[in-house]
Structure 1
Amino acid sequence: MCLISNMKVNVYLVMCFILGGMLALQLFFQMRCTDKENFAPSPQYSDICTETIDISSIKVNVSNVPRMIFDVAMHLKKARIHARGSKTQRALTYASERMDTILKGFGISFEDATKRKVYEPSSMCPEYYVDKMNGYKIRKCSHAKPLEEIVTFLRLDHGSPTDKEFIKDTYGENIPMIVGDYGGNVKEKSNVRVKHMTSTTTEGDALNILMEEVKTKYTLVLRNVTELDSNARIERLVREIESLNVNAVGGAIRNSDNVWSLGCHQRVFRNYTVVYEEGYDESMHDCVFCDHVDGPFLIKTKILKQIKFDSSLKPMGSYEDFFMRLNTEVALCADSLFDMDFPRRSELTKDWEKFGRKRNLYKLSSLLD
């Protein structure tokens, strides 16, 4: 009897303990759902607490959120502009529209938030717009520097006539020029240094040798230029490389038959295929933005010396590889015009083989069309 009585007591105590535990758990969950000031429900209990969670009390530093949103908006704009696939374009357009709605909460539009920033040029006097009739004029300033102090010309000479003057006007004998001479016809002058090249020296290797001699802030790579005159408007290139804050800026080109070309390409590189599309998606200051340019270009010397040219590549692919590794937008100002031999692009696969192997390409499109 005592044994049975003790068993009943034990069962009774266990049942009380279980019921007490269940009541305690129920009370605990109710407290988690109702005490908004001190608790936030754990994900595993989210189905129990059905109320909307008030996040106003969460201690989070949100001071950088507007700047982060603007930064995301800028990248969305770049992606939307340069997207080539229709599905990608639609998705980015939708995302941009949603971002515009968010930005309106800060009292600003998507276009205003993603507008390119313009800087005051540090080496040239700035331009200002007058009207359609007069266009742009240069504002007087005291900080402009002589062109010969900030720009060095680089060019390769493959045997031009000895009596031909390369520079026709304006720039005279002051701007430093370093020439890679393949033909033995270039003479040194006070501002011209000559580096003699052998027939086996690749174009990339020659340019790498020449650039080591540059001491100025900017280098103008005169690719295939036949003569240089005031149409090049080099001062404008300097002004825009600083105003637009880009690493390089080029000009339009014209050949001996007076055929004009912008020489601006957009590049798409995916699935072992690289596609070049001529044209541009965005412009500013009467300059356009390109992934690849055909003509001469002004570049920051420190960037040129960092990137360099791949000396193992043939002429076919040398500049394509250079701009791929530069991996930034190149501005191109159409009112800066250079006389040059247009790039001769071989239609033979073997001439592009080294470039293709380096980039693991199965297909190169549009550039050869």
Structure 2
Amino acid sequence: MTLLMENKRRICFIFLGVASVLITVSSYMAYMELKPVLFIPPRQRASKLPDHINMKDIARQSTGVKVATLAKIINNANKHVRGSKTSGYLKDALSVMKHVLKDLNIDEKGLFERPSVKSENVCPESYMGGAFGFPLYYKGFEVDQCNYGSPIASLVTVIKYFDLKQDNLESKNDPVERFVASASKAINGVKVLIALNNGPVNNGLKKKYTHVNIMQSSYTNEGFALNSLVHQVKTPYVLIAKGVEFFTNDSRLERMVRELESLYVVAVGGAFRYPNGHWHKGCFQSVYRNYTLKYISGYDESFHECLFCDYIQGPFVTSTSYLKTNVFGDFNENDGLYEDWYLGMYQRGDEAVLCPDSMFHLKDKVDDSLFLYKEFMQRWDLLKMITPSGRTVTRGCEHQDTQSRKSFALSPCGLKLNTGAVKFIMKACEEVDLICELQEGTAMGALKFGSSLPWELDYDIRFSLTNCSKCHQMEKLYERSGVKFEPFAYECCMEEPPKLGYRNNFKVTVNGYKGDFTAHPVLDSEELVKAGIQPTKVLFDGQWVNFGRNPGHYMRNRYGKEIFRHAEHWIYSAGKNAHGKSNYTTNIFQPCKTPGVHNCLDRYNADGNLPFFILLP
């Protein structure tokens, strides 16, 4: 009875604590509603949970705050998950969490709904109903009267980089003049800044359109030219007129600025159409993990009839201050200029939206088949990229780290060197008829991944020391192939062979990758051959190689419980005084010092192999 009363008392204290937090939060929210609405610079806004939660901070928070944070995380995960099993579990988890929130009197709608504020410089709009714009629907939303609206020309400057050939400038259809004339007509009085490459400046245009400044770009790349233009901007916002051929009223810059000031985003883009009439949203999500970047057309979330995008293919508006702080890279569009800018935005935890009712007229579709993305891929340490057009681009292994590091996955180049070394040695063993088998972590990698472990430090192969001549042949093969090795043939030529349980390690280095080549007096494969049975082989990175007689049984007895869950190399995870035979905990990766880096192992579940094979969206 006393225990029951004590538990009730504890529960009462917990609820009182949660209630006090909720009262404090409610009071603060009420206070904020009474305050006049002010424009909040994008960098100071908090549109979503941070990409990486600081668990030390969370641990110090009250239970109510912890529950609210957990609910937000589950809700965000539910929005962005695409796997059917995971989606089902998250929906169930979210349903349970909603009941918990209700029990704690936490407002579900206020917690999950994205925040927005009133635009500071553009009047709001109201929907007039489905019959209002019938039949062509040029109208539907009407701008409300307000006393704080500013002309769009005082808010936005248009900047554009032209890379033209001489014959374009001498033709009657000067693309620069068409661009400037259409901007002046569609957006009265708007300031236009142009950097012109490959051609002289048309001074007649500067006289005809006084609000236009055209300068000859002597810069080596588009990014540098755009950054130079941005520093001339006097308005609070900039339209990056990427690919725009001419303007019409469809660009609807007021709408874009309204959402930039209202939503907690740093960029707002628009849809576009090409001269052939083909219309595109140009909204992409990105997956950046383990040296690979993949773009997926589509959206997971919308608000105010705009789509949240990781990458926007067409023109976009952003704040001048943001663009001065987060500059373009010093390279050209065909090297990934805009992909680089948006990926930087994404990594900072900022967001962008695309409002498809704003539409731009672009010149002919850019053929990206010759785009190399060299600078971009090197900057972000990418080996593989699936572009917005669906093309797969890869780069070589130059300047890429190939060594193992605590908490990080091996680069594909490092993994290739590791598996290549194992396959070379096992093939060499076959050539000289020396019996060899995978062992230790290399055997574990073959069992779980059919390859080396994605975080492997070295490699481990054992060989039979029962044949003197074959060991000498193996040493000669190593010598001919330029392999560095510690001499080992003498182990195979002893008058009295070692007994079962003896082992001796020899270092072997293939293409700069070092591993252990271990002498054993008895191997399973050798015993099977003596019995007239083929050795058991497993598929290792496309090559069938010798293993112990029963691979699963061998590895379970070697490493113990839960071997199919993961752990890093014992040097990284088993403690200061550990050794190769130490027991260590599985189902955990060591946390990265900088959370969220693309090749951090703690971004993966420490169980299962599919996420390492397939870049899931």
Q: Which residue of 1 aligns with 2:214?
A: 194
- Bigger drift between 90-99 and 231-240 goes to 90-99
The yes-or-no answer on 1:276 pairing with 2:292 is no
Contact 1:294-1:343 within 8 A present in 2 as well: no
The yes-or-no answer on 1:179 pairing with 2:220 is no
1:280 partner letter? Y
CA distance in 1, matches of 2:193, 2:251: 18
Q: Which residue of 1 aligns with 2:531?
A: none
Aligned to 1:258, the other structure's residue is in SS state: coil
Residues 6-42 of structure 1, C-alpha deviations (whole Å, 9 max, x = no match)? xxxxxxxxxxxxxxxxxxxxxxxxxxx97999xxxxx
CA distance in 1, matches of 2:370, 2:174: 33
Segments of 5+ residues of structure 2 without an aligned counterpart are 22-62, 133-139, 391-617
Q: Which residue of 1 aligns with 2:271?
A: 252
Q: Which residue of 1 aligns with 2:334?
A: 315
- Bigger drift between 139-148 and 155-164 goes to 155-164
CA distance in 1, matches of 2:356, 2:129: 19
Contact 1:175-1:191 within 8 A present in 2 as well: yes
Q: Which residue of 2 aligns with 1:104?
A: 102
Give 1:4-153 correspondences, 5 Å limit: 52=7, 54-56=9-11, 61-62=17-18, 63-64=20-21, 66=64, 69-86=67-84, 88-107=86-105, 110-111=108-109, 113-134=111-132, 135-153=140-158
CA distance in 2, matches of 1:261, 1:225: 14
**Which among 178, 187, 194 is matched to residue 165 of structure 1?**
178
Q: Which residue of 2 aligns with 1:288?
A: 307
CA distance in 1, matches of 2:224, 2:87: 40
Q: Which residue of 2 aligns with 1:46?
A: none
CA distance in 1, matches of 2:378, 2:241: 28
Q: Which residue of 1 aligns with 2:443?
A: none
Q: Which residue of 2 aligns with 1:266?
A: 285
Q: Which residue of 2 aligns with 1:44?
A: none
Q: 1:314 to 1:152 in 2, by over 3 A?
A: closer
Give 1:301-312 correspondences, 5 Å limit: 301-312=320-331
Q: Which residue of 2 aligns with 1:358?
A: 379
The normalised TM-score by structure 1 is 0.78
Quote the offset at 1:80 in angstroms.
Answer: 2.1
What's the C-alpha RMSD, in Å, of the aligned pairs?
2.8
Aligned to 1:347, the other structure's residue is in SS state: helix
Quote the offset at 1:75 in angstroms.
Answer: 3.5
- Bigger drift between 151-160 and 244-253 goes to 151-160
Q: 1:88 to 1:216 in 2, by over 3 A?
A: farther
Count of aligned positions: 321
- Bigger drift between 87-96 and 205-214 goes to 87-96
Contact 2:190-2:211 within 8 A present in 1 as well: yes
2:382 partner letter? L
Contact 2:192-2:213 within 8 A present in 1 as well: yes
Quote the offset at 1:111 in angstroms.
Answer: 4.8
The yes-or-no answer on 1:329 pairing with 2:351 is yes
Aligned to 2:128, the other structure's residue is in SS state: strand
The normalised TM-score by structure 2 is 0.48
Q: 1:112 to 1:132 in 2, by over 3 A?
A: farther
Q: 1:113 to 1:337 in 2, by over 3 A?
A: same
Q: 1:305 to 1:170 in 2, by over 3 A?
A: same
Quote the offset at 1:81 in angstroms.
Answer: 1.5
Aligned to 2:10, the other structure's residue is in SS state: coil
CA distance in 2, matches of 1:364, 1:97: 37
